[in-house]
Amino acid sequence: MRRILTTAFLLLILGTGWTQSGIQRPRLVVGIVMDQMRWDYLYRYYNRYSETGGFKRMLGQGFSCENTLIPYAPTITACGHSSIYTGTVPAVNGITGNTWWDNEQMKTVYCTDDKTVNTVGSTSVLGKMSPRNLLVTTICDELRLATNFRSKVIGVAIKDRGGILPAGHSANAAYWYDNTNGNWITSSYYMNELPRWVSDFNSRKIVDNYYEKGWSLLYPPGSYVQSTTDDKAYEAKPFGPAFPYDLKKWAGKDYGKISATPMGNSMTFEFAKAALQAEQLGADKITDFLAVSFSSPDYIGHTFGPNSVEAEDGFLRMDRELGDFLNFLDAKVGKGQYTVFLSADHGAAHVPEFMQENHLPGGRVFVGKVIETLNKELAEKYHLTGIIVSDDNYQVHLNHPLLDSAKADKKEITRWIISRLQTEKGIDRVFALDDLNRIPLPERIREMLNNGYHPRRNGDIQFIPKPGYIDAYSNTGTTHGLWNPYDAHIPLLWYGWGIKAGRTYRETHMTDIAPTLAALLHIQMPSGTTGQTIPEIIK
């Protein structure tokens, strides 16, 4: 009997990751978020990915969760990055969009805006940012807590929200790109001056080097058979009509154009490598965390669309650079000494005109223009100017102080707006958010909208475009943001220390990433976690 109990106890110890030397953890965790990557990109371009590239390496040697979904709407950048790292939805973590209307302040609030801090590394205002609007901890915060703040955590992204929100409240640093001058910056929330290595990186002005080289296709033009022809009227043309793109004229002048090219990814990889080496991430037995978001796929996707040659070339280049980055981690941290996950904050809809030319349902709804018209009609009907103050995040926000002071009938006005919006071509559903749990609606959609709703950061009326239709601001490109699979079905790959090889087709969620990392690292889940551990991935 004693022998049986002893054996069982030893198995329990080994099964929970304990040994005589203590808890076993990787030296480094690297979180990679692709800003706008549809799940099908893993296989749409699979035959073109390199055998030594990153995607096939992670798919072949790691674990793939093939049916990973975003469990909330709106499926927007800030929400995605926050939900991956907090293990919960906007209803709990508070990040309900890139921006949202604040009824108390009577203004639009940006997700990482913080006027109490200053830019570090630039004279622009683009560094007045922090994670203070995030209401819960991230997995990075929990790692810091678990090691009594000895773990180092650094966030990196071209977009401020892509670097700040994943790294959490207690990060050692988050860095993002200042498109006014080509520098990587941070804020006084983290530090009062840039480390020497960041200043040295900025002094290289590598953006100008990328501009000098331009953007040519990686392979012969005729080989891009997974894409439309190069020059389409419904694609925006920030660099000219078609490949190759000569970017020299923007050197030293326009540092923003780089973001809509694959070189934005290259720059981000280079900065992440510099951070890892300078900060000695993964150099000792105390686990560190590098949270990297690649913003350029989103800029490319919005500009050219998912079926463009530009999008295909961008992911073929990303595959190569991801493979090089894994080799870099092998050399600097050690093979088998680090854990990587790769996912996305959202997908994207096909360009509506692409759908139409192929006899598929799709179109544009110019909601901003519709709201302008509605406000004029409301002013004529109710003699009040500015009744609708925002249409952020597929919701209509009413001017409550105005309506209260005028003693207006809010229910009547709400009903009028709903009936008017329902006449718009391309709008599928419109309803008062107070009625969300009473109206006929597929349960998955209802649940996603509930999960995206925070009472102090959401509106009064929800509208949902028809599948294939987008809330548009121009006649080119595409966007994302709702419940549909093209927006909500994302990749989730795991690789490295503690990870089995394999795949699962059961439904998993973006919010499962953080609790799975918590189980792998033997640390507490983030404070608002609603996701579940994915046990299949753990070796």
CB under 8 Å to 326, separation ≥6 — which residues?
A: 54, 57, 58, 340, 495
- The CATH code belonging to domain 363-466 is 3.30.1360.150
Q: Which of 92, 72, 39, 33 is nearest to 482 (CA)?
A: 72
Tell me the C-alpha distance between 98 and 394, whole Å. 12
| pLDDT for residue 2 | 42
Residue carrying structure tokens 């703040």: 149
Between CA 338 and CA 494, with CA 152 as vertex, the angle to 5 degrees is 30
| pLDDT for residue 20 | 37
- Do residues 205 and 182 lie in contact, with contact meaning Cβ atoms separated by under 8 Å? yes
Q: Which of 167, 87, 75, 146 is nearest to 528 (CA)?
A: 87
- Region of residue 139 (phi > 0: left; psi between -120 and 50: alpha; otherwise: beta): alpha
Q: Which of 489, 483, 463 is nearest to 365 (CA)?
A: 463
Query: Residues 455, 479, 252, 161: what is their CA dihedral angle, to the nearest 10 degrees?
Result: 30
Given CA atoms 513, 138, 485, 295 in this order, what sign does their dihedral have?
A: negative
Measured CA to CA in angstroms, residue 340 lies from 169, 436, 516 at distances of 22, 38, 12
pLDDT digits over 8-25, tens only?
Answer: 443 343 343 433 358 899
Q: What is the DSSP letter of 525?
A: P
Q: What average pLDDT does range 400-423 have in this prediction? A: 97
What is the share, in percent, of the chain residues with pLDDT greater than 90? 95
- Do residues 171 and 153 lie in contact, with contact meaning Cβ atoms separated by under 8 Å? yes
Measured CA to CA in angstroms, residue 284 lies from 152, 157, 332 at distances of 11, 25, 11
Task: Name the token pair of 3.
Answer: 């022998």
Task: Name the token pair of 111.
Answer: 């997700």
- Do residues 299 and 37 lie in contact, with contact meaning Cβ atoms separated by under 8 Å? no
Q: Which of 520, 515, 535 is nearest to 86 (CA)?
A: 515
Task: Name the token pair of 168.
Answer: 């959490």
- Mean pLDDT of all residues belonging to the chain: 95
**CATH 3.40.720.10 domain extents, the chain:** 23-356+485-537
Q: What average pLDDT does range 220-234 have in this prediction? A: 96
| pLDDT for residue 428 | 97
For residues 387-402, one letter each, b for 16 or more C-beta atoms within 10 angstroms of the residue's C-beta and e for the rest, the string is bbbbbbbbbbbbbeee
SS3 of residue 409 by DSSP: coil
| Active-site residue, 77 included | yes
pLDDT digits over 190-204, tens only?
Answer: 999 999 999 999 999
Res 221 pLDDT > 90: yes
- What is the total residue count of the chain? 539
Q: What average pLDDT does range 402-421 have in this prediction? A: 97
Enclosing H/E stretch for 107? strand 107-110
pLDDT digits over 278-314, tens only?
Answer: 999 999 999 999 999 999 999 999 999 999 999 999 9
**Global confidence as pTM:** 0.95
| pLDDT for residue 5 | 42
23-356+485-537: CATH superfamily? Alkaline Phosphatase, subunit A (3.40.720.10)
| pLDDT for residue 104 | 85
Task: Name the token pair of 266.
Answer: 């290259």
Task: Catalytic residue, from 68, 77, 96, 303: name it.
Answer: 77
What is the rounded radius of gyration, in angstroms, for the C-alpha atoms of the chain? 24
pLDDT digits over 116-163, tens only?
Answer: 999 999 999 999 999 999 999 999 999 999 999 999 999 999 999 999
pLDDT digits over 350-396, tens only?
Answer: 999 999 999 999 999 999 999 999 999 999 999 999 999 999 999 99
Task: Name the token pair of 486.
Answer: 């093209």
| pLDDT for residue 16 | 39
Residue carrying structure tokens 């200053």: 118
pLDDT digits over 434-470, tens only?
Answer: 999 999 999 999 999 999 999 999 999 999 999 999 9
Tell me the C-alpha distance between 305 and 234, whole Å. 9
DSSP string covering 489-518 = EE-EEEEETTB-SEEEEEEEEGGGHHHHHH
| pLDDT for residue 22 | 81
CB under 8 Å to 106, separation ≥6 — which residues?
A: 389, 401
DSSP string covering 344-358 = ES---PPPHHHHHHT
DSSP string covering 202-268 = HHT-HHHHHHHH-B--SS-GGG-TTS--S--TTS--SS-SSSSBP-GGGTTT-SSGGGGSTHHHHHH
Res 35 pLDDT > 80: yes
SS3 of residue 375 by DSSP: helix
| pLDDT for residue 1 | 43
Res 414 pLDDT > 70: yes
| pLDDT for residue 103 | 85
**CATH 3.30.1360.150 domain extents, the chain:** 363-466
- Do residues 178 and 126 lie in contact, with contact meaning Cβ atoms separated by under 8 Å? yes
Tell me the C-alpha distance between 40 and 45, whole Å. 9
- Do residues 477 and 101 lie in contact, with contact meaning Cβ atoms separated by under 8 Å? no
| pLDDT for residue 494 | 98
DSSP string covering 428-462 = EEEEEGGGTTTS---HHHHHHHHHT--TTS--SEE
Distance of CA 428 to the CA centre of its chain: 26
| pLDDT for residue 21 | 54
Task: Name the token pair of 425.
Answer: 């071509």
pLDDT digits over 97-117, tens only?
Answer: 999 999 888 999 999 999 999
Q: Inter-axis angle of helices 139-146 and 77-86, to 10 degrees?
A: 30
Q: At 7, which amino acid appears?
A: T
Residue 293: φ, ψ to 5°: -120, 135
- Do residues 63 and 44 lie in contact, with contact meaning Cβ atoms separated by under 8 Å? no
| pLDDT for residue 485 | 98
